[in-house]
Amino acid sequence: MKIVVIQGPNLNMLGVREQNIYGPMKLEQIHAQMKEVATQNGVEIEFFQSNLEGEIVDKIQECYGEAQGIIINAAAYTHTSIAIRDAISAVSIPAIEVHISNIYRREEFRQKNLIAPVCASSVIGFGPFGYHLAMMGMLQIMNEIHAAQEAQKAQQAQA
């Protein structure tokens, strides 16, 4: 099983930008922690970061047939990108969105979320720990899907 982690604009600047909002952890540290959890659970994990909307859409589309889960922090595109929303919807892969800060306690324009309605769940406002929570959630979703597929196979074998 494979999870693809997609990071949006300016997340490559974590640890440098607005530490009072996003904290001191760098993106590489967050990814290292996620990789450790994936390894412990026998799951392949891939990381991707881009500041460009089209590249994020392309990456989501590449997940079709290749990944069983997407964890995405669309960052500022959360509030503006119908294209990213449509890509998530099109691939029909469970997606969990992550936001380091609580977007609903910030500026009004950040409270509009175009991504959440097409995601299985959202983890918002837990800082970098939110990525760990998203990993736990995605592993649970993947296990439930796998169990349902196995049960369906067993039913078909009995028929």
Residue in this structure with the two tokens 């503006």, named with its chain if needed: 80
Which position among 22, 77, 79, 131 bears the catalytic label?
22
- In the residue annotation, 104 being an active-site residue is answered as no
Distances (CA, A) of 8 to 29, 140, 155, 158: 16, 24, 42, 47
C-alpha 131: how far from chain center: 8
CA 130 and chain centroid, separation: 10
The answer to whether 32 and 74 are in contact (CB under 8 A) is no
Q: Catalytic residue, from 31, 64, 77, 99: name it.
A: 99
User: Is 77 part of the annotated catalytic residue set?
Assistant: no
Q: Which residues are catalytic?
A: 22, 99
